[in-house]
Amino acid sequence: MKNSRIAIIMSFLFLVDFCAAQSEVLQISNFGGTPNSDITQAFIKAWTLACASPTPTKIVIPAGTYMLTGIDVKGPCKAPIEIQVDGTIQAPSDINLVQKGSDQWVRFQYINSLTLSGQGVFDGQGADVWKQGRAAWKKGSSTSTKISMNLGFNFLNNTIIRDITSKDSKFFHIMVLACNNITFDGVTVTAPAMSPNTDGIHIGKSTDVKILNSNIGTGDDCVSLGDGSRKVTVQNVNCGPGHGISVGSLGKYTTEDHVAGLLVKNCTLKETDNGLRIKTWPSAPGTITITDMNFEDITMIDVLNPIIIDQEYCPYNQCSKENPSKIKISKVSFKNVHGTSKTPEGVIFICSSGVPCDEVELNNIDLTFNGAPTKAKCSNVRPIVIGKAPACQA
């Protein structure tokens, strides 16, 4: 009898603990958020309640189309929060109607254990901005300080973004800044090839970032690493259209931090303007290092400049190349890269004459241009060649 009582008590305590651990579900409709309406205030109310809750909470935005002028939600919160979005959330197409003073339309900051999930779409409605071309970003223009990114993840720890879609951002789609342990899994990023400055996922000053099993096609870099990026993995990602997977550009500012520890593995790049790229500015003051960059098991399909290190990066020729880049690049490997190039040079290494590249490895590179093997153009570097790879020419 005593053992039976103990078993009953233990079972009761387990059920109490189990129920306490279950997420409280907050439907956006309970806060006034309904399809075909602006849910800005409804989301803020739901977030405020979730953030104050001592138990895990899920905010649910079901199927339907919703409007959102912009949100900037912050922690710290008392327990993990999941936001499940299954609807389409639209930003104002007019940049003057997006939340004032924000360069990110939907922003999350200073939170531990955030999950953003669901089959939903964040639609930035950026077409009106793209029509203006480079003029929209010209310093001093009426629009340059108002153009917002779709999603900002800033100062977050232990974060998962799963299955959601970012569509037609006015500017970068996703910014990752000062985060630790953040994973993107099954994410879709989409914008037309002609949409300027619509980088897919840009990473800066963050550690342990994973981009997995995702499809990214934009008018700029699919993935880009800014300064301070460390321990980044990009795996099973399809990239294109866009400008490829890039490290940089770097070296423009003295405040930049070192970049180290990148693995790009089992990715396919299709009809991108560049493939795997590291880019730094010439005649610039930055003196950081870029090291331990690894690219392996990569498929190229009709890619311009499939493999490129460019330490004379100077878009639109609006800078001087008089002085070499001060950025030191070392320990870079390209392994098992195959497919087709749209340029005769499948490999271009333009390293700095001031600080030449060290320990750059080409291992089993099989790229063709119009059916013939591609060439390699190299300066200020002596690649380590293993297996098949084009011989360097000046």
Query: Distance from CA of residue 350 to its chain's centroid?
Result: 25
173 an active-site residue?
A: no
Continuous segment of H or E residues that includes residue 19: helix 2-21
The vertex-348 CA angle with 231 and 311, nearest 5°, equals 65
Give the C-alpha distances (Å, rounded to integers) separating 225 from 37, 64, 387: 36, 34, 29
Contacts of 211 (CB under 8 A, 6+ apart): 184, 187, 201, 223, 232, 233, 234, 235, 237
Nearest to 215 by CA among 236, 195, 238, 197: 238
For residue 32 the two structure tokens come to 């006034």
- The Cα–Cα gap between 265 and 239 comes to 12
Pairing of strands 65-67, 88-90: parallel
Compute and round to an integer the Cα radius of gyration of the chain. 24
DSSP character at residue 316: G
Catalytic residue chosen out of the listed positions 202, 243, 258, 338: 243
- The Cα–Cα gap between 143 and 277 comes to 30
- With contact defined as beta carbons under 8 Å apart, do 122 and 145 qualify? no
- Exposed, middle or buried by CB within 10 Å (0-12, 13-18, 19+), for 394? exposed
- The Cα–Cα gap between 81 and 57 comes to 5
How many Cβ atoms are within 10 Å of 253's Cβ, its own excluded? 12
The letter for the amino acid at 137 is: W
- With contact defined as beta carbons under 8 Å apart, do 349 and 376 qualify? yes
The vertex-129 CA angle with 126 and 135, nearest 5°, equals 150
Nearest to 188 by CA among 197, 203, 200, 171: 200
Q: Annotated active-site positions, please? A: 243
